[in-house]
Homo-oligomer: A and B are copies of this chain.
């Protein structure tokens, strides 16, 4: 059951990362304390909840496992307190969001594998798990979802997901494959922002 435990650990790390990202996004909008808590829950649980609902794995895990609400509540309090000593919320949001993106994509992808779905479906489930907590958060906060900003976002999940399946063809240890795929997603996401990477332009210039 060691594999299960590692996946579980990744899931909890992703929950913490997305909790902090959610708190940062909510504090940028100066929500009150319960508003921040609600946004932290939505950011951390939204993607996995959507995934579990779509595949019919109900009730969703955080209803049965009280650890998730506890971690998010504790993480929210810690992030609020810690934030008082921070200046740069935008960068905090960026880094923790990238971490959550990488961790949750692989969690979602592996859940699809457990259910025996097609690899393309599993990459889609990973992308949903990684991206949609943030999408729901951004829609509710009336931000433009990060996924649609002219930066590489869902693309990082898809590249990381493909790497995961390609690495299965090698003799690399399963735990390493997970770490490499997660790192690929986090690094692509962060570098794309810091270096200003863009996807190829598909619109003609000066059109309207």
Contact = CB atoms under 8 A, between A and B. Distances in A.
Interface string A57-78: 0111001101001000000000
Interface residues of A, number: 51
Interface stretch (A5-13, A150-158, A166-174, A180-188): A150-158
Interface string A138-159: 0111101101101001110010
A140 B139 contact: yes
Contact of A198 (B32, B118, B141): B32
B140 A135 contact: yes
A82 interface: no
A56 interface: yes
Nearest to A89: B208
A30 B154 contact: no
B148 A35 contact: yes
Nearest to A39: B148
A197 to B, nearest CB: 11
Interface of A: 27, 29-35, 37-38, 49, 53-56, 58-60, 63-64, 66, 69, 80, 84, 115, 117-118, 120-121, 124-125, 135, 139-142, 144-145, 147-148, 150, 153-155, 158, 198-200, 202-204
Given A66-B120, A141-B148, 8 more contacts: A34-B199, A35-B147, A37-B154, A55-B63, A56-B59, A66-B118, A66-B121, A69-B121
23 contacts: A27-B203, A31-B148, A32-B198, A33-B199, A33-B202, A35-B148, A38-B147, A49-B54, A53-B58, A54-B58, A54-B59, A54-B63, A55-B58, A56-B56, A56-B58, A64-B117, A66-B118, A66-B121, A69-B121, A69-B124, A80-B202, A84-B204, A140-B145
